[in-house]
Amino acid sequence: MGLALLMLTGLGIADEKKSGHVITEMEKCYTLLVTFSAWPLSETDASRINLINTLPYDGVALPLIGTYEESKSWCADSLRSLAEALRNRSRAHVWPWVFLNRIIAPRDQTGPLDQKPGISHIKLIDLQDKHAAFSQFLTIFDQALNVARTLGSPGIFLDPEFYSAYNNNDIYYLAKNLGIEPQKAVEDLRSLGAHIADHIEAHYSDAIVWAAFTGMSVGHPALCASYPERWRTVTWIFDGMLGRAKDRRYSFKVVSGGEWFPGYCYTSFVDLIEGQAEAHRRIEPYLKKYPNLRLGATIAPWVDSKLRTGYFGTGSESSYKCRGSKLEKAEDFIPLLRNMMWHSKYLWIYGASGAGFLPFTKEGKRLNDIIRKVIQN
């Protein structure tokens, strides 16, 4: 996916606690830009704070640890000190960013990851924490929550994509290769989600966990092998999180970011309107079922459609909506951005290299300035 979360500071926070921690319900659109061109949070220095302060966004998400990284490359004390310094110097919120991929086995066991115990020995997903991968993920997750709280940030950004093995998204593939029944796999996944919810309550009870997607607007929770539109594996984890939050009356929020549906790309303004309406229709039953769930939106703008590559390009590997988009230049995104900011409380903007948008560089200035004007107007 590729991410670095940037959010529009000051637009959406309803109030602040006396302790300085932000109350995490939004009054207006809170926009965040996500790009893999971001640096690790631990490498933030004065020059990078100055860079963040020149941008129009409410916040920026910085990864606590890399997508495939296993080693503990940070220590709690140093991150706490850094967070305290950032809180006093950064105009925008900094959102710690974590990857669920930490509990997924590597796709290629012959690569460098197979030399890393804990990851290389996982079979598909460490559902029952046999290799302590889930425990290690929770350690990272807890630290992200602690840092977010110290920063006064509304919460953390969670990337739930299975980068190492996309076929694990099929619950029947997963169950078959683990030698268990699909229903058992669902129970284990929901248990993981429940544990995550307990950790949010323990470390930052009012946090927003902004997920790139939850999958609740894609398919149905039908455990039938012949049913093509069923929930993907990761969605059952979110189901467990939200179920535990409801049962125990936790106050944290989970934002379903919309990456899987409607996605990053739109063929036109009309396509945006129809896609957002359909996303709401699909997820509405779960918004009613789970009081902690919120619906967000996402978009990946580009400066020049001719410069797009990969997923965002025009080749066979691209998304059909990206490939068929009639949006040619940065200015064409103005009505889409305006509409999304008007109708969504949670919008993350994907600064994708494949779309030619690198928000931390001078080449990203054109789109940054356009987004600034949309926010101001």
Element (H, E) at 155: strand 155-159
Domain range summary for the chain, segments of one domain joined by +? 6-376
Calculate the CA dihedral of residues 216, 222, 224, 227 and round it to 10 degrees.
Answer: -60
* Beta strands 30-34; 6-7: pairing state: antiparallel
For residues 375 and 32, the answer to whether their CB atoms sit within 8 Å is no
Domain 6-376 has CATH 1.10.287.130: no
DSSP character string of 67-108: SS--S----HHHHHHHHHHHHHH-SSEEEEEEEGGGGBPPS-
User: In 10 A of CB 28, how many CB atoms?
Assistant: 17
Q: How far apart are CA 350 and CA 308, in angstroms?
A: 14
Read off φ and ψ for residue 181, nearest 5 degrees. Answer: -75, 150
Q: Which two three-digit tokens encode residue 36?
A: 């893999």
pLDDT of residue 31: 87
Which residues lie across from 157 on neighbouring strands? 97, 210
Query: Looking at residue 72, what is its pLDDT?
Result: 56
The sheet with strand 6-7 has its strands ordered as 293-295, 253-256, 208-211, 155-159, 93-99, 59-63, 6-7, 30-34, 346-350, 297-299
Q: What is the DSSP string of 163-175?
A: TT-GGGG-HHHHH
Per-residue pLDDT 10s for the chain (377 aa) are: 433 333 333 333 333 332 333 434 556 899 898 899 999 888 888 899 889 889 999 888 899 877 766 655 556 777 778 888 777 788 888 999 999 988 887 765 444 444 444 455 677 888 887 878 899 899 999 999 999 999 999 999 999 999 888 888 889 999 998 999 999 999 999 999 999 999 999 999 999 999 999 999 887 777 766 665 689 999 999 999 999 999 999 999 999 999 988 999 999 999 999 999 999 999 999 999 999 999 999 999 999 999 999 999 877 777 888 889 999 999 999 999 999 999 999 999 999 999 999 999 999 999 999 999 999 98
Query: Mapping DSSP to helix (H, G, I), strand (E, B) and coil, where does residue 146 land?
Result: helix
For residues 160 and 101, what is the distance between their CA atoms, to the nearest angstrom? 7
pLDDT score recorded for residue 264 = 92
> Is residue 297 helix, strand or coil?
strand
Angle at CA 188, nearest 5°, toward 72 and 101? 35
Entry pTM: 0.88
